[in-house]
Amino acid sequence: MNVKGRNFLTLKDFTPEEIIGFLDLAAELKEKKKRGVPVDTLRGKNIALIFEKTSTRTRCSFEVAAHDLGMGTTYLDPAGSQIGKKESIPDTARVLGRMFDGIEYRGYGQEIVEELAKYAGVPVWNGLTNEYHPTQILADMLTIREHFGHLKDIRLVYMGDARYNMGNSLMIGCAKLGMHFVACAPEAYFPNQELVAQCESYAEESGGTITLTENVVAGTRGADVIYTDVWVSMGEPDQVWEQRIHDLSPYKVTAKVMENAGPQAIFLHCLPAFHDLKTKIGKEIQEKYGIEDMEVTDEVFESPQSKVFDEAENRMHPFNGVWGATVGAVCARIDVNPTILRAGRSKSEAGAFHVLQKGEPMEENTVLCGANAYEKKYYFNPDFGSLPQTIQDELHIMCVLFTEEIGGIFTVEFTPEGDLEFRTEALEADAMYDDIGGPLRIKELRREKEELFRSLELFYKVFFLGEDVEA
């Protein structure tokens, strides 16, 4: 998966394989975090977090994820930014794009994040808009896959107002990944028909289905996942509460709904949820309308079938994956042997990486990192972050040079004898002329490559073999 430099605005922009790639990387980074393995391979990078709509989970998950990767963050709330007020979106994008390595936006219309992406010159990520919420969907899919072990053929029922970001994005995600999406709501609350038609075309390719129904019993029968969200979205006027409560109360998630789905079903909610009277708004709604809950009962929310806090934690890990893949491409998995890499493929066909201790012999060849200029990709082993920082820096420089300047294919491996072995395939001189131009520049690049080899060999002898070497 090569998505370096790409925006993350809606899942419509990504193939099923790329979405699964984000999930695989998220799962890998989550597992490393649990084991205490550092993954801070994006040190020196900085990102801006624009929050026109505040959020507990989104801000915390984004900041922790960024810090785990070694990145700095600057949080801009409505009071701390002039976006759209004293400064236009194109101007804001061009200013921030020169200061930061990426920009996250959480706010209102999708057109705002699209315009940011158009002018920023760095990756822009959608943290939530009125229309789409792609980061939440990655968290949901990771949670579902962790529970069931797979995503294909999972039946997910979304209950309530399916017209906005959650209904839209869940429908897209399910359709792309071969799942069966059901919008269970009054007809007036069905998703936009144009988007439904687009998702039906995705589902036809993936083996999924799209169903819209007003019938709660038929819609939830046999469901694997029952999903809901608040009935009034952030930013909507208070006047809509009465109408929504009237229209959507029959679609509340209750114990009866979960029983109809079956014992295998889990409950998900992107939070916050109005399931009791322990919040200020919950108390106000109870006083005004005489109800103790809204979209889900407290009984369901606190039941063993509820996985909402697993889901909330998983807001963090997918964005580790998205940022790692789009900002630096240095967290991408590599278990690739030289033959596969030379063939221009990046599928896994080799074993795991073994971190050498000083003087420790190797049992088999293991790829440490690689670069493929033909595909404009460079790769690092999953445990790359465990290496000494000086080794990481040298390998990073080498891979970038091969991918973007020197050309050809390059791998670094440990041999059974514990040596560091370089394998390269430089482009022919004629090809280098086309991209770079001039024999002097070619000689300069070859000299840089030789110097990098010597530098890396020196670091290897010092850090892994414990030798005293004069610089």
Q: Which of 133, 145, 269, 317 is catalytic?
A: 133
Q: Which of 59, 136, 145, 199 is catalytic?
A: 136
Q: Which of 270, 331, 369, 399 is catalytic?
A: 270
- 353 to 74, 299, 367: CA distances (angstroms): 35, 46, 7
Whether residue 136 lies in the annotated active site: yes
Whether residue 270 lies in the annotated active site: yes
Whether residue 106 lies in the annotated active site: yes
Whether residue 369 lies in the annotated active site: no
Q: Which of 106, 155, 269, 317 is catalytic?
A: 106
Q: Which of 145, 244, 315, 317 is catalytic?
A: 315
Q: Which of 68, 101, 140, 229 is catalytic?
A: 229
Active site residues per annotation: 106, 133, 136, 229, 270, 315
